Structure 1
């Protein structure tokens, strides 16, 4: 997940190199708000979220009433193997991170005390999770996670913000701003459902590169190695069924934006009658979901990230809005860009996306769904295809099963 922010705006992360990007300018009177000349976008409509392997995805004013393009679902968290549960609304769907992270302030007092903390020796295990816009810090707990009709039993999750701010390790604080509150996250938590089954994998099995910390009495936290089974886990990979991937289906929206959008998150790919793989383009990714592209003459990594509220890339030729809109783009005329994505097997496919003046789009305070919001944020070496790319598309994420004894390599498709 990533936030490009000043006026409460958001984005997420990834990493890659290959074909060339270009742009077409449509003259529209200079305000950047006339979208009539833009090419038609994708038009797929989401299925109804009525089956057990589905859940409704909502984009609207959300918990902050100020952050556009935040897709959210409801998630039920339970004390493992018990009926002590709480349903948490407004949890952001993030296809570029891995694992469930819930704000401590979103949990009721019973759940705050009842969720079992994972231990590292005699210490409490905590995690510093890096995102493009900052970090989340909090303990690792064990919980049953229920989404729609699916359950991941007794998996590690992160509870954000349940440790004193003074306990944050310097290495964590160096990442950027703390994202340990509802206002900072723009949601009550993050549901990471990308292609990895764990949030750190082999990297954190050794202490030197670990995101995890052992905190005696919740303080004096030191970096520590963590086995896979103790790492924050992608819930989908740990469902009993429908666990090989997800399909995020978002409806088309107006090029001028609209108040809200309702989509569907479907669990499993090719496991039920409602989740067949019907994509025209499929790309094998890195273990973390990355592809490659050459855009504006530069080799970049590219990734499809529902946790980013805009499409983020560096282009010095496009005017930035400044002021409260910071590095969001405010071109005088609407733009269309095309580029080619290249996967791990050198398979390639072309995509296009639009960029419209963010000041004009966000001038309507009642609109929260935009398919052409973009800016420069995060790494200058990446093309972050955020939620605007998802509207009107079925986007598939095949979870990496090679690390759990299977043969499926990680992939994205649309």
Structure 2
């Protein structure tokens, strides 16, 4: 889960991060690597008896990703990654100092997250030459440095807002845009209001984050929008802080132009109206790795036609707020940054302390959630839930399509990375501020 919603809504990735990191230790001991089984289609007939144990899993989707060879594409990899966390899709991102074509660095193992908006990179992943050349933003009309705190279920990231030119695949932003550098500000500067008092610990290192950074390519063009522009709402909900002299950081309003920006929305016309996340099908028992493709633009080139069977218009953040599960209304979202399905279901047994937060049903299960868009498009989606402890029994697997866990409360249903395997998932960016189309998701 990588959410930058200003109302601090929680999506499930960090909900089970402790269990994930424990699992990662087991995975790392297994050696990882091995041949890439990502192109194997799922077949319930090939599942080991211990996985089903008298239960069954729904048929898995079978779409394959296109080759990441065009300018408007970049490879997506699920594997051991930066710190051995399971089900983390990663891409490579090149960061350049503003106005330079030589002071650049390509950062691998940046998590691809459709549940957030904007690029965030751990400062320690950057070389000193590039980091020193990225200008720290100052609040408009003052000399106060601009910083940001992103809060998650179990912690927060803290760091400066800087500007950089961003290239991904063969596309590049036309000019420098705001990004967040995680962990580059001294811990003593972390504000209590809305940050260190959010109930969790700092997540400012690669090992804590599980990646070298986060690439947020969800439906919003910036990470806070009007909430952070308006002084009255920013006083309570802003992610941004003004730091006079680099210290004494206090919550502040900030203009759209200074907010951390979705890089793809700043690519040249033809690649900037949305993205398509394409992941291969998986065996239900999991695979050592998976290789997919991120495509830039929708309906603008020969390789990015809108071919979704269902298209759901959403709120600004890509949420379908009138969806239903078990007879209750839920806020559903398709979030590649969550490494499992996360939802509340008291009929599913939870794992023991070694895998706390994940579901461990005695037999394989199927659940159905009905997605409802603002355009009234409705579709029932069936998901499979296998016993997490059984899945983790093969220490060499990092990619799973039937991993699920518990989320706090009954109001959210997080269709995380398992949903993406064997599908092409579309995200149309919110262009209503300029008279364009409303945000949407589709598959």
Which TM-score bucket, shorter chain as reference?
A: over 0.9
Q: Alignment partner for residue 300 of structure 2, among 271, 277, 280?
A: 271
Structure-1 residue corresponding to 2:61: 42
Q: Alignment partner for residue 317 of structure 1, among 347, 358, 373?
A: 347
The 1:185/1:392 distance shift into structure 2, 3 A limit, reads same
Structure-1 residue corresponding to 2:17: 5
Secondary structure at 1:111 match in 2: helix
Q: Alignment partner for residue 349 of structure 1, among 356, 372, 379?
A: 379
Structure-1 residue corresponding to 2:187: 165
CA contact (8 A) 1:301 1:382 kept: yes
CA contact (8 A) 1:31 1:357 kept: no
Deviation at 1:218, TM superposition (A): 2.0
Is it true that 1:100 corresponds to 2:119 in the alignment? yes
1:76-225 pair list within 5 angstroms: 76-83=94-101, 84-120=103-139, 121-152=142-173, 153-170=175-192, 171-175=194-198, 176-205=200-229, 206=231, 207-208=234-235, 209-225=237-253
The 1:134/1:380 distance shift into structure 2, 3 A limit, reads farther
Structure with more of its chain in helix, by fraction: 2
5+ residue gaps, structure 2, are 3-12, 23-46
Is it true that 1:407 corresponds to 2:436 in the alignment? yes
Deviation at 1:81, TM superposition (A): 1.4
Q: Which moved more, 1:385-394 or 1:115-124?
A: 115-124
CA contact (8 A) 1:33 1:256 kept: no
Q: Provide, for residues 322-381 of structure 1, a one-character-per-residue CA deviation record: whole Å limited to 9, x for no partner.
A: 212111000000001112101112221111110000000011111000000000035542
Secondary structure at 1:359 match in 2: helix
- TM-score by length of structure 1 reads 0.92
Is it true that 1:60 corresponds to 2:75 in the alignment? no
CA contact (8 A) 2:66 2:293 kept: yes
The 1:55/1:302 distance shift into structure 2, 3 A limit, reads same
5+ residue gaps, structure 1, are 11-27
The 1:52/1:34 distance shift into structure 2, 3 A limit, reads farther
Deviation at 1:56, TM superposition (A): 0.1
The 1:264/1:139 distance shift into structure 2, 3 A limit, reads same
Deviation at 1:411, TM superposition (A): 0.1
Secondary structure at 1:243 match in 2: coil
Q: Which moved more, 1:82-91 or 1:339-348?
A: 339-348
Q: Which moved more, 1:123-132 or 1:257-266?
A: 123-132
- TM-score by length of structure 2 reads 0.86
Secondary structure at 2:176 match in 1: strand
Whole-Å Cα distance in 2 between the matches of residues 274 and 250 of structure 1? 15
CA contact (8 A) 1:33 1:360 kept: no
Whole-Å Cα distance in 2 between the matches of residues 127 and 244 of structure 1? 26
Whole-Å Cα distance in 2 between the matches of residues 227 and 344 of structure 1? 28
Structure-1 residue corresponding to 2:264: 236
Whole-Å Cα distance in 1 between the matches of residues 195 and 91 of structure 2? 28
Structure with more of its chain in strand, by fraction: 1
Aligned length: 396
Deviation at 1:31, TM superposition (A): 4.9
Whole-Å Cα distance in 1 between the matches of residues 53 and 133 of structure 2? 53
| Cα RMSD after superposing both structures | 1.8
Whole-Å Cα distance in 2 between the matches of residues 313 and 278 of structure 1? 28
